[in-house]
Chains A and B, each alone.
Chain A
């Protein structure tokens, strides 16, 4: 039985949004409802990324939505966030794809790239004609990216790159990879490079057997003596902090995404509890223990909405610090996962089948909790900020 999403707004959250923000949210919700929801369970089952949605999402302006120029919509951070919320209400994998394209590829080209690089890539990426991926994580360098082994060596007018990257969203479908590597001649300083994926020595292999984010592509990248023109370096990258700046953009979007996933599972659990009858022919929503779960969920979702909206407003004023974003990502993904588990519980056996979206979201959120700074890493970022002591 398919339950239609009804939106979630307990505290009149919409009164905090402008008309345009509501329009952006509702428009994206309509797109997701009509183009994602009908197919997502099958794509998830088949482990298939819906490539047919790439161009339509580009036409709507989802890629690089908060960038200016190059065909981008110059949305506010709150508007951009609402798009992420709605996409993740559909599926975390789809939101991941858009996040990577926008925050991890278009953003670094926009912020750290040369004019030639911007001209070459941004417009085409905004339309979805070109796709990108972000290569930071390695098999042995996850939470500690400073331990990366990928190297770039200057050789005349070229750089030669060698290394392995792992857990790379969109790796095998990308036209260009933003590769972070330690530069030999710069005493191991980390710089960003644009590597076209058709260059000799570049290989992408998909990671199979995932129980999570099955509707998006996750790959490992191998770079063996990949030669790129020296002009492919992102000139304004100065160290690892630039990679972390990209992650900040993405983490901000994920904090909104968490709200979306939590809304999806909460609304499903609520509707289910209202029609599912057990004991004395009464809906299970009449049971105190079910109500307690639903109340916990709406309580946490409402708080998560306020937190991420506040961080978004700060970001629009250029006042959002990385630890603000860490708190929003950590909290919102954390409660989303907890909501998904509770929703699964309320749905009983029905919660394990893909007739309902709950288990899919739950499995997705396990990845979302881990990527872009694990829950623990964000704990340490916040801890460092309040105590002044680095506990990594």
Chain B
């Protein structure tokens, strides 16, 4: 099976976030890491390859720093990488990101495309789904398990309240992978060494620009919620105060 894993570099979970000057995104002088669901998607792809053979290709879109994600993936066992490199990729909406990926892989024939369920920064959970539409492939989301069948796959999806759904689908297909479905491996030192010799193809924004349109979705403003504190003194007899308090807790604070 030939599997593409779409990976994203996101701000480290405990990074101290500050707004940038435009007020539409964060300042970039922080540490970054692999988007967690994408790490599980890669792990699942590597396991599928170990079981069935084939190739695992990883792709990311972002500035130079995002290459770290690909290096780590290559060190863990991916066979080659594609880097859509440029600052322009940072602000793309899911439609355009999916279009950029589609353009970048037009000469490849994949059996499966994995993305993480969603990204830890924007959290849209859209890119994989839109990519499947653009490719006119079937997709399934929140995948917990993948089993190869004759002529297709059978996947386990996570539903709400502990329910699962099993879906059989043909290939090629797009799957968005749930976090925590497998145990992530570490890159070995030998893996890191060998990754230096694995192909890492770079594509610039100009290479895929013709496939991309204006963003359909734009962030107008980003803000850090203000902490507010308000004290209100309830007056009256104790019965009246108790009554008012219950009303407030029920209607204003909504904890009852």
Contact = CB atoms under 8 A, between A and B. Distances in A.
A62 B71 contact: no
B31 interface: yes
A24 B187 CA distance: 8
Interface of B is mostly: helix
A258 B188 CA distance: 24
B190 interface: yes
Given A4-B14, A6-B14, A7-B31, A24 B189 contact: yes
B189 A19 contact: no
Interface in A61-90: 61-62, 65, 71, 73-75, 79, 83
B14 A23 contact: no
Contacts of A140: none
Contacts of B190: 61, 71, 73
B72 interface: yes
A60 B31 contact: no
Contacts of A245: none
Contacts of A65: 189
B215 interface: no
B189 A62 contact: yes
B188 A60 contact: yes
Given A20-B71, A22-B68, A31-B186, A73 B31 contact: no
A59 interface: yes
B143 interface: no
A60 B14 contact: no
B188 A23 contact: no
Interface in B167-209: 186-190, 192-193, 195-196
Contact of A60 (B67, B71, B189): B189
Given A7-B31, A75-B193, A23 B72 contact: yes
A61 B31 CA distance: 26
Interface residues of B, number: 16
Interface string A105-134: 000000000000000000000000000000
Given A19-B67, A23-B71, A73 B14 contact: no
Contacts of A23: 68, 71-72, 75, 187, 192
Interface residues of A, number: 22
Interface string A27-43: 10011000000000000
Contacts of A7: 31
B239 to A, nearest CB: 37
Contacts of B71: 19-20, 23
Given A60-B186, A62-B189, A20 B196 contact: yes
Contacts of B192: 20, 23-24, 27, 73, 79
A121 to B, nearest CB: 19
Given A20-B71, A23-B68, A75 B189 contact: yes
B196 A59 contact: no
A74 B193 contact: yes
B102 to A, nearest CB: 27
B96 to A, nearest CB: 27
Contacts of A24: 189, 192
B68 A19 contact: yes
A77 to B, nearest CB: 13
B193 A73 contact: yes
A75 B190 CA distance: 8
A37 to B, nearest CB: 15
A74 B31 CA distance: 28
A61 B188 contact: yes
A236 B67 CA distance: 44
A328 B187 CA distance: 29
Nearest to A75: B189
Contacts of A71: 190
B189 A61 contact: yes
A11 to B, nearest CB: 14
Interface in B57-75: 67-68, 71-72, 75
A79 B14 contact: no
Contacts of B195: 20
Contacts of B68: 19, 22-23
A4 B12 CA distance: 13
A290 B192 CA distance: 41
Interface in B17-75: 31, 67-68, 71-72, 75
A379 B166 CA distance: 69
Interface in A1-58: 4, 6-7, 19-20, 22-24, 27, 30-31
Interface of A: 4, 6-7, 19-20, 22-24, 27, 30-31, 59-62, 65, 71, 73-75, 79, 83
Interface of B: 14, 31, 67-68, 71-72, 75, 186-190, 192-193, 195-196
27 contacts: A4-B14, A19-B67, A20-B71, A20-B192, A20-B195, A20-B196, A23-B68, A23-B75, A23-B192, A24-B189, A24-B192, A27-B72, A27-B75, A27-B186, A60-B186, A60-B189, A61-B188, A71-B190, A73-B188, A73-B189, A73-B190, A73-B193, A74-B193, A75-B189, A75-B193, A79-B189, A79-B192
* For the complex of A and B, 5 pairs with smallest distance between CB atoms: A61-B189, A73-B189, A73-B190, A27-B187, A61-B188
